[in-house]
Amino acid sequence: DADVTQTPRNRITKTGKRIMLECSQTKGHDRMYWYRQDPGLGLRLIYYSFDVKDINKGEISDGYSVSRQAQAKFSLSLESAIPNQTALYFCATSDLGTRDNEQFFGPGTRLTVL
């Protein structure tokens, strides 16, 4: 079984709809992250969480919110989706104890907003 899972894998929605992307991990890591990937822009950090009570904005948090329901679960919400949020979204985790903070990525969710 995959260590980091994301649901759904693909989603098509309309402008103005509320969307939730979910991430679960079995690695026992404290740190979780949400990124979006756009062609030519690499990965950009949306939000990150170092434990259940800790939520922090990344570089592109506008239009997004997150919830850390448990150590193993970290959800990303788009309250009112817009077309420029069409992208590939990745969840990642890392272990608090490692110096170089290697991150482990889920398979991604491809979101299309029409």
Map residues 86-105 to x or -, x wherever contact with other proteins holds by CB under 8 A: ----x-x-x----xxxxxxx
Distance CA 5, CA 38 (A): 20
* Residue written as token pair 């850390």: 68
41 interacts with other proteins by CB under 8 A: yes
Question: In sequence order, what are the residues at sequence separation of 6 or more whose Cβ sits closer than 8 angstroms to the Cβ of residue 108?
Answer: 6, 9, 37, 88, 89, 90
Tokens of 71: 């150590």
Region of 14-22, 38-46, 62-70, 76-84 interacting with other proteins (CB under 8 A): 38-46
By CB under 8 A, residue 60 contacts other proteins: no
Summarize as ranges the residues that interact with other proteins (CB under 8 A).
4, 31, 40-45, 48, 50, 90, 92, 94, 99-108
